[in-house]
Amino acid sequence: MEKALAYWLKIRSVHFFWWTFSCLLAFNADRLLDPPYWDAVTGVYSQGLWLKMNHFDFSRLAQLPNYVAGGPRVHLLYAYAPLFAWLSSCFAAKSVFLLLHTLNLIFAAVTITVFFHILRSRLSFVESLVWILAAALNPVWSGQCAGIYLEIPLAALSALSFLFLWREQFFLAGLTCLFAYFIKSSAILQGFVYFIFAFLMPFFRKDHPSSGKRKFQQWLSLSAPFPLMLLMDAMANVKLRAAPHLFSQLRDVLIIVKITLPYLAATICLFGVLFVIQLRSKQWRDRMRQEPARPFLFCLALFVFSFWVGFVCFPTPLPRYTVSIYFPLSALFAFFLSNKRILSICLASLIIVVGVMTQNGSFLPKIPLQSSRDGHVLERSREFLKDVDGNKNLCRALERDYFDRPIVCKYPFTQMLTLPEFGYVQKPLPRVYGAGRFPMVSPALRWDENKSIVDSPGTVSVFCSNIYERSEPPSLLPGQGSRILYQDESLPGYLLAWTR
């Protein structure tokens, strides 16, 4: 027992990584063959399939509409699109998903290990572990570990960049931040934080002996990524959409936070209260003035603050975007409460309990029925995995029983039923008609050019209570006298196939 305790108290980062990866693998073992879901289908993996079908013609891709207009272009520089294209060319769909899920879990283990290493270098084993678990057991983070989106890989490179910043290896911090941009352009937020910090660095490092040349190299290493990212955005033809009126946008964000992120919002408010209380303590203020990690903590705090400003201003703030702030926020909590060890451990334990209780959507606000199949809402926890299973079962039933029948559907089922590379069907269904937004990547036919097909005998329509049904006509809601052919009841919302 004593040897086991000593091992964990002195555990090396490499060993901790393998333990973490093993636990993540065991916890997500039943999801390793899951196909991409929701925006992953309509976004970066659609771009990957287009590249595969068109011999990696990036110049032509740059001229096509973006994903919002039904085109294949998400971002020309995203590395996951050509990676998926190459993997799909070499392996069967299930093998591709297995590789991507494994890679996702490796990135998750890297993120957890990096922040554990940072905390452990200054705090006790117990404090470090509980705050790491508080972040790792958050339902949004846990859910993304079971998916194959871009958020976890982005979080891993962001964490590595913060690690280099912690070690004052500024060139590697800036370079890793720049690499993160090729995973997802949201890395520009960290680049912005480094850009601000580069100009404030002299105030944090007044007593640090460095030559003028050395200081300039450090300044350049941290300030360069942000303008380079802006330049790459311009080269990649990325047009930033302006948010709607601030007050209406803020109202929508508050609704989203209330339904999907209530405990995170409460945690942020609690952090603010505790920070104000600590700030009134002269002993704590003196301690923080002498804290060697003060520049690092400033960057973490600015990163979290900037994220929330961006979250409010961004036209489509989604719960899964918060993946990037859970570990920085936990690290801030751990450092700011390091002088109150018992309170720190108890608070982290409470956050862990809440995270465990809400893993599958339990104890979270009820989702309105009209949004109950919105993937971006379900991604507030692991409950979206039920929707993944429901989508798979529906597509397999249509392929098995109604393969040759006309099928009318909307995003993302148009892609699911016609592109076997996404893993929902083994063969593309030949008579799929896309209603509403029409995907350029799919071989489906346009519904608006074949409107009479809906009223034809034998036509199967797919109805799903999600945002595409609400916002893009025509409605595929079954009418009076319709016959339900298949219905998934794993979630409160409607997912069904029907005919007249």
pLDDT interval class at 237 (50, 70, 90): low
pLDDT above 80 for 209: no
Whether the ω angle into residue 474 lies within 30 degrees of 0, i.e. cis, is yes
Mind listing the pLDDT tens digit for each residue in 149-206? 999 999 999 999 999 999 999 999 999 999 999 999 999 999 999 999 999 887 776 5
Q: Give the Å distances, CA to CA, from 148 to 151, 355, 438.
A: 9, 21, 24
Reported confidence tier of residue 12, pLDDT bands at 50, 70, 90: confident
Q: Over 80: is that where the pLDDT of 437 sits?
A: yes
Per-residue confidence (pLDDT) for residue 458, from 0 to 100: 85
- Which pLDDT value is given to residue 147? 96
d(C-alpha 412, C-alpha 438), whole Å: 10
Which residues fall within 8 angstroms of residue 498, CB to CB, at 6 or more apart?
460, 461, 463, 478, 482, 483, 484, 485
Lowest mean pLDDT of 75-79, 145-149, 160-164, 235-239, name the range: 235-239
Mean of pLDDT over the chain = 90
- Which tokens is 459 given? 């036509």
Q: What is the mean pLDDT of residues 31-39?
A: 96
Question: pLDDT category, 136, cuts 50, 70, 90?
Answer: very high
What are the structure tokens assigned to 394, written together?
């529906």
Q: Is there a contact between 439 and 414 (Cβ–Cβ < 8 Å)? A: yes
* Tens digit of each residue's pLDDT (9 = 90 or more) over 368-382: 988 899 999 999 999
Sign for the pseudo-dihedral over CA of 302, 305, 311, 313: negative
Q: Domain boundaries in the chain?
A: 2-31+91-357, 384-499
> 87-94 long-range CB contacts below 8 Å, 24 or more apart?
88/48, 88/49, 88/52, 88/421, 89/52, 93/35, 93/420, 93/421, 93/422, 93/423, 94/33, 94/423
Confidence of residue 290 (pLDDT cuts 50, 70, 90): confident
With 90 as the cut, is the pLDDT of residue 213 above it?
no
Sorting pLDDT into bands at 50, 70 and 90, what band is 283? Answer: confident
Of 71-75, 171-175, 472-476, the range with the highest mean pLDDT is 171-175
SS3 485: strand
Percentage of the chain lying above the pLDDT 90 cut: 71
Which amino acid type is present at position 34? D
Token duo for residue 125: 């084993």
Across residues 256-281, what is the average pLDDT? Answer: 89
- So what's the pLDDT on residue 211? 58
From its phi and psi, is residue 446 left (phi > 0), alpha (psi between -120 and 50) or beta? beta
**pLDDT at res. 13:** 85
Predicted TM-score (pTM) of the model is 0.94
Quick check: 268 and 293 in contact, CB under 8 A?
A: no
**What does the alpha-carbon distance between residue 39 and residue 61 come to, in Å, rounded to a whole number?**
19
Q: Do residues 499 and 396 make contact, with C-beta atoms less than 8 angstroms apart?
A: no
User: CA 163 → CA 110, 206, 299, distances in Å?
Assistant: 11, 22, 12
pLDDT at position 444 over 90 = yes
Residue 212 has pLDDT above 60, yes or no: yes
| Residue 393: how many other CB atoms lie within 10 Å | 15
> Per-residue pLDDT for 460 more than 90?
yes
Distance separating alpha carbons of residues 362 and 84, to the nearest angstrom:
34
Q: Give residue-wise pLDDT tens across range 393-435.
A: 999 999 999 999 999 999 999 999 999 999 999 999 999 999 9
